[in-house]
Each structure stands twice: as structure tokens, then as C-alpha cells.
Amino acid sequence: MSKAHDFSRRELVKTGAVAAATLVAPAGVFSLGLRGAAAHSQFQFGIASYTFRAFPRAQLIGFLKQLSVLDANLKDTKDHLPMDPQAESAALADYAAAGIKLHAAGTIYFDKDEDDDIRKKFEYAKRAGIKVIVSGDPAPTTLPRIEKFVKEYDIRIAIHNHGPEDKLWASPLDVLKAIKGLDPRIGCCIDVGHTVRASTDVVQAIREVGPRLFNLHIKDLADMSAKESQVAVGRGKMPVREIFKTLEAINYKGFVDLEYEINEKDPMPGAIESLAYMRGVVAGMAD
């Protein structure tokens, strides 16, 4: 058994019980799900809506309720959170009616070093009441301009690392080097899968990023170097328990967002299993 799964017998039993409870409980019954992973901890679970990119907003809302997760990190995909102000307003009304809160938007790409383009994206987040923009691939030369808007809007930027294919931000440590000296509201969204594929120790990266960690995307890999090897969280080699213990150690207050990118047409079984496993891990940490 790998170190990532080296739990005590009691923790394994608890994880299994939590998983079973999740699979049979109706939406809203499973108390570890709604706005917080467990009563003893600061962990908050959310869903990156890219998980449900094949489904329209109405089905996304239904899936979130079924998962007992009422916090979302939304992307302008399908009709989840359109960039157009009128369409965005309609989406926000639907989420409010369903009791779903939005804590982040992204990934949003800042591919133009222009005030008008950057302002449009900050206005998008402001209308939604979102305080964290998950940013993909801003050029380092654009960061001083983005910093100006971070100060004006008081909205944090979390730069998302995208693994070895990303020439700019393969690892969170690449982000950390580039933002040193910038406003403290410019930080990281650590994608744990992309981090390990960049040959970065994800636990150490979380520790080093520390107070500049504003969002975390969690997934699991059967092969720590292969993007295509993604599996439900708990089935792969990701050091999940060590990740949560390190988040606890740095007093992380942000969201842990499940980003389950496989089985696009039928993601619910994997999402259910992933959340159940993580909730079990966190429950086991209470002992």
C-alpha cells in the first residue's frame, strides 16, 4: 500500500462508512457536504464547473445539489456563467434561487495586455460577487497591469498552473517566483494534478505558497506523470491525506474544488466517489 493510502484501520473504516453514506443519502442529508468538509476543520469543498462542461446550467445545479455541495467555481462554458452581462444576470438569479454560492470564476484567460479587456473580466467577477479570479496563462509582462485592477476592485487573482505543457506556469513555484513583490492579493490556484506532472512535490508547493494560495483544484492520477491517467480521487497515487494535513498546517481558508476532468458524459459516479473519499480522509483527521 502506498504512503498516500497508509491510513489507520479506524480511518479506513470511517472513510468507507462516509463513502457509503454519501452514495445512499439524498441531497441535503449528508452533513459533511454543505459549506464545509467537517465540523472540526476549516476545509470547504466546492466544484469546478468544468467537471460538468457537457451539461447546461440547470443540470449543473441538480448535480451540485445531489453532491451536497452548494459552492461553485464557475467557468464561462456552456451557460454556466456567461461573460455577457445580461446572460450572466440570468445565471446568477438561477444560482441564488437554488441556494448556490459562487466563490471563484475561472479559468479566465488574460491574453491581452489592455485595460479594456482586463476591466471586462474584473467587472464580470464583480457582478457575480466573486472575490477570486482563477487566471490562466497571463504573460508575466501583463502582471503589473493586472495588479492595478486587483487594487481597484479588491478581487484576488489566483494564477492556475497547467503542468509541463505550460511554458509559463508549469508549477505553482513558477507562479510564486513571478509574483514576489506584487500585491499580496495576487497568488496561486494550485492544480495538484498538473503540479505533480511538473515534477514538483505538491505538498511542499502548498507549504511554500502558503498565504498566497487562494484556490486549490484537486484530482488524482494513477500515473503521476500522465495527464490521461486521471481517476477518481482516492484511486490513484496523489498524497491526498498529506495535502489536507498541509492545508490545515498553513491554515488554508479557501476552497478545495474538485475538478474531475474524465468521463465527460457521465462524471457523477467519479465525482461522488471523489468527494466521499475526501470527506472520509478529513473525518479521519479529526481523531
Dump pLDDT digits (tens) for 11-22.
443 444 444 444
3-class SS letters over the chain: CCHHHCCCHHHHHHHHHHHHHHHHCCCCCCCCCCCCCCCCCCCEEEEEHHHHCCCCHHHHHHHHHHCCCCEEEECCCCCCCCCCHHHHHHHHHHHHHHCCEEEEEEEEECCCCCHHHHHHHHHHHHHHCCCEEEEECCCHHHHHHHHHHHHHHCCEEEEECCCCCCCCCCCHHHHHHHHCCCCCCEEEEEEHHHHHHCCCCHHHHHHHHHHHEEEEEECEECCCCCHHHEECCCCCCCCHHHHHHHHHHCCCCCEEEECCCCCCCCCHHHHHHHHHHHHHHHHHCCC
Residue 120 above 50 pLDDT?
Answer: yes
Q: Report pLDDT for 137.
A: 87
Q: Report pLDDT for 155.
A: 98
Q: Report pLDDT for 286.
A: 76
Residue 3 above 50 pLDDT?
Answer: no
In this prediction, residues 135-154 reach a mean pLDDT of: 96
In this prediction, residues 1-6 reach a mean pLDDT of: 41
Take residue 119 and report the three cell numbers written for it. Answer: 476591466
- The mean of the pLDDT values for the chain is 88
Dump pLDDT digits (tens) for 42-75.
689 999 999 999 999 999 999 999 999 999 999 9
Backbone angles phi, psi at 167, to 5 degrees: -70, -20
Residue 84 above 70 pLDDT?
Answer: yes
Q: Report pLDDT for 89.
A: 98
Give the predicted TM-score (pTM) of the model: 0.86
Q: Report pLDDT for 75.
A: 93
What residue spans of 180-267 are helical by DSSP H? 192-197, 202-209, 240-249
Q: Report pLDDT for 41.
A: 52
Domains and CATH numbers, the chain: 3-284 (3.20.20.150)
In this prediction, residues 216-224 reach a mean pLDDT of: 98
Q: Report pLDDT for 31.
A: 34
**DSSP-derived 3-state class of residue 214:** strand
Q: Report pLDDT for 13.
A: 37
Greater confidence (32 vs 95) lies with: 95
Are 205 and 190 spatial neighbours (Cβ–Cβ below 8 Å)? Answer: yes
